[in-house]
């Protein structure tokens, strides 16, 4: 679209310059539905700034600048209307959808969510656990992402993260692992780490901070469940969605309790990291805690870990040659895991969980808000035309008409859609209170008079010092490869022979080069167009990396 707009703008600028009509380029004047040239120029320039700052060069290296510049979409839309207001009828419905989504996001994020715990892992990554409500009203999936703002770090910046937890866990926590790569994530890491240091030897209250959360976003299907065999590939912190998938499958097998369900039974995990310390994110999940004896009950999970760094610690160097595969369950060495769990200042009340007023919430309420917002716009637009435009003597300029269109959209959403949202909020609050009252009655007086741990049973403060004498054995069955990278061609040759006659799902969460390498091997080793028989195999490639 911006290419066509640029060609349009450059063409008219060249035309006006060639015909010596320079004054029109800077003219705000309009006649009837005529175009305001300068307004179009401002819209075009703001659109170019948005597009340029959206490129990977700016987006990844200067996120703050990209985030701020992207708000120029307001200038772009408004000055577009100033320029050619008559075109609003072609995109008014998408704009209404956009503003309804913004209303829901604003309503959801105004609620501060308690960060139940913060933990610094061995690699330096930070694990946050945010409070969830048991009656939050929506179901999220393993591959969804969440948009998070922590006001104590920045009141403007929002960042997307994949969750390592799944709804099947049935707890009140949303677990997110964050690697300190940018300025915002490093500030978070330093804040948690400094709090850990300040708490050593102190009996004072632990630090606490809250977050604003929007979401969930992303894939709303569990498509990976349709495959009998899965190949999961991850690199670095990209293992977080892979962990969510593994936990989801483990919980589903546990709930099946031996009954036949169409679930994956063979899973091959390939995880690449630079240093051995980064394996702590993968080892943070113990499959035997979720589903004891899962291998004896028909679920086979093999993890193939690759440490690409040439520098290996002395403990691992004694195991033999650096490129020899080690048993992942026998991998040992020094363990450093400094942990702090935090209790909110409102520890004597139930922790505030993530709001359920999201676009993925109750379908009936979302549909009602959307439909009434659209109807509200058309009602107000018709009334404003009858009582404002028709009663105005003389021409009605583009600017006034644009303000009328924007005003009708905002008022239609706030008055009509916002009214339904208020009713939804009141209904949800009453329903939650009724459920909690019923639970209190069933538990008896002991639950009412107990300590704050009724709600915060896992939120005990502790600080685990570095323990160099403990062992770090991986809970996953598999092998560990040191100072090397996977040979994808050999790996897929082995997979093709091992899983003949199957349709294998391949999910990749990693760098662009990793995705391209794996996708290339999936294409080379797959049989297309022809039915799969006992001698062939098909690899279905899926990218689950969050691209921003």
Mean predicted lDDT score pLDDT of the chain: 82
Query: 492 with 524: CB under 8 angstroms?
Result: yes
Query: Which CATH number is associated with domain 222-333+472-548?
Result: 3.40.50.80
For tokens 């009858």, name the residue.
386
| CA–CA distance, 523 with 515 (Å, rounded to integer) | 12
Mean pLDDT computed over 262-284: 92
Mean pLDDT computed over 511-528: 92
| Per-residue pLDDT at 28 | 76
Residue 351 has pLDDT above 50, yes or no: yes
In which band, very low, low, confident or very high, does the pLDDT at 499 lie, cut at 50, 70 and 90?
A: very high
| CA–CA distance, 183 with 131 (Å, rounded to integer) | 25
The CA-based dihedral angle spanning residues 345, 349, 353, 357, taken in that order and rounded to the nearest 10 degrees: -120
| Per-residue pLDDT at 345 | 43
E strands within 54-206? 113-120, 126-131, 144-149, 159-162, 173-178
Q: Kindly state the tokens that stand for 246.
A: 């593994």
| CA–CA distance, 164 with 220 (Å, rounded to integer) | 16
Q: Structural domain boundaries of the chain?
A: 2-83, 222-333+472-548, 363-452
DSSP 532: P
Residue 124 has pLDDT above 60, yes or no: yes
- What does the pLDDT look like over 450-462, one tens digit per residue? 433 334 434 344 4
β-pairing, 339-341 vs 266-273, is: unpaired
- What does the pLDDT look like over 370-407, one tens digit per residue? 999 999 999 999 999 999 988 888 777 778 889 999 99
Give the chain's radius of gyration (CA, Å). 28
Query: 245 with 507: CB under 8 angstroms?
Result: yes
- What does the pLDDT look like over 397-429, one tens digit per residue? 778 889 999 999 999 999 999 999 999 999 888
Query: 290 with 254: CB under 8 angstroms?
Result: yes
71 or 220, which is more confident: 71
| CA–CA distance, 487 with 495 (Å, rounded to integer) | 12
| Per-residue pLDDT at 348 | 47
Residue 466 has pLDDT above 70, yes or no: no
In which band, very low, low, confident or very high, does the pLDDT at 276 lie, cut at 50, 70 and 90?
A: confident
Q: Kindly state the tokens that stand for 321.
A: 């040659």
CB neighbours of 101 closer than 8 A, spacing ≥ 6?
Answer: 359
Query: 268 with 302: CB under 8 angstroms?
Result: yes
361 or 277, which is more confident: 277
CB neighbours of 102 closer than 8 A, spacing ≥ 6?
Answer: none
Q: Which of 425, 419, 424 is nearest to 375 (CA)?
A: 419
Helix axis angle, 418-443 to 363-384, nearest 10°: 160
> Which stretches within 277-361 are classed as H helix?
280-283, 287-290, 314-317
**Among the listed ranges 48-52, 87-91, 315-319, 325-329, which one has the minimum average pLDDT value?**
315-319
Q: Which of 350, 539, 340 is nearest to 433 (CA)?
A: 350
Residue 357 has pLDDT above 60, yes or no: yes
- φ and ψ of 542, to 5 deg: -140, 130
| Per-residue pLDDT at 547 | 58
């Amino acid at each position: 679209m911006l290419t066509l707009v640029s060609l349009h703008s450059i063409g008219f600028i060249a035309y006006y310059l060639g015909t010596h009509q320079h004054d029109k380029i800077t003219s705000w004047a309009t006649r009837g539905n005529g175009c305001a040239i300068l307004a179009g120029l401002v819209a075009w320039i703001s659109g170019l700034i948005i597009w340029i700052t959206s490129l990977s060069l700016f987006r990844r290296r200067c996120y703050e600048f990209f985030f701020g510049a992207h708000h120029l979409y307001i200038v772009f839309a408004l000055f577009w209307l100033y320029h050619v207001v008559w075109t609003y009828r072609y995109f008014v419905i998408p704009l209404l959808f956009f503003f309804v989504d913004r209303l829901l996001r604003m309503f959801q994020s105004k609620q501060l969510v308690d960060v139940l715990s913060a933990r610094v892992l061995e690699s330096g990554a930070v694990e946050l656990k945010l409070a969830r409500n048991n009656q939050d009203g929506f179901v999220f999936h393993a591959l969804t992402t969440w948009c998070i703002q922590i006001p104590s770090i920045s009141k403007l910046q929002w960042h997307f993260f994949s969750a390592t937890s799944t709804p099947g866990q049935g707890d009140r926590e949303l677990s997110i692992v964050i690697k300190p790569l940018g300025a915002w994530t490093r500030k978070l890491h330093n804040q948690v780490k400094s709090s850990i240091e300040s708490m050593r030897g102190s009996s004072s209250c632990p630090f606490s901070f809250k977050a604003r959360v929007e979401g969930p976003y992303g894939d709303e299907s569990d498509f990976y469940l349709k495959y009998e065999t899965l190949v999961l590939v991850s690199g670095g912190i990209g293992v977080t969605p892979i962990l969510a998938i593994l936990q989801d499958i483990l919980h589903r097998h546990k709930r099946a309790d031996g009954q036949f369900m169409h679930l994956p039974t063979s899973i091959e995990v390939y995880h690449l990291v630079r240093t051995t310390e980064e394996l702590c994110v993968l080892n943070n999940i113990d499959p035997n805690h979720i589903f004891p004896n899962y291998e004896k009950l028909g679920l086979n999970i093999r993890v193939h870990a690759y440490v690409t760094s040439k520098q290996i610690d002395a403990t691992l160097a004694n195991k033999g040659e650096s490129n020899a595969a080690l048993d992942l369950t026998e991998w040992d060495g020094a363990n450093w895991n400094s942990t702090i769990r935090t209790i909110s200042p409102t520890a004597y009340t139930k922790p505030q969980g993530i709001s359920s007023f999201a676009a993925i919430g109750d379908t009936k309420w979302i549909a009602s808000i959307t439909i009434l917002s659209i109807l509200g716009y058309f009602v107000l637009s018709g009334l404003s035309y009858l009582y404002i435009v028709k009663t105005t003597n003389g021409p009605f300029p583009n600017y006034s008409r644009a303000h009328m269109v924007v005003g009708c959209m905002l008022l239609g959403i706030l008055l009509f859609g916002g009214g339904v949202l208020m009713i939804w909020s009141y209904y949800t609050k009453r329903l939650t209170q009724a459920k909690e009252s019923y639970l209190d009655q069933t538990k008896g007086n002991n639950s009412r008079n107990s300590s704050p741990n009724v709600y915060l049973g896992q939120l005990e403060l502790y600080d685990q010092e570095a323990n160099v004498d403990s062992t770090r054995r991986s809970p996953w069955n598999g092998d560990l490869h040191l100072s090397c990278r996977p040979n994808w061609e050999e790996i897929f040759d082995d997979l093709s022979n091992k899983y003949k006659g199957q349709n294998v799902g391949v999910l990749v969460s990693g760098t662009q080069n990793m995705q391209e390498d794996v996708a290339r091997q999936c294409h080379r080793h797959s049989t297309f167009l022809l039915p799969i028989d006992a001698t062939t195999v098909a690899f279905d490639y899926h990218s689950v990396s969050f691209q921003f």
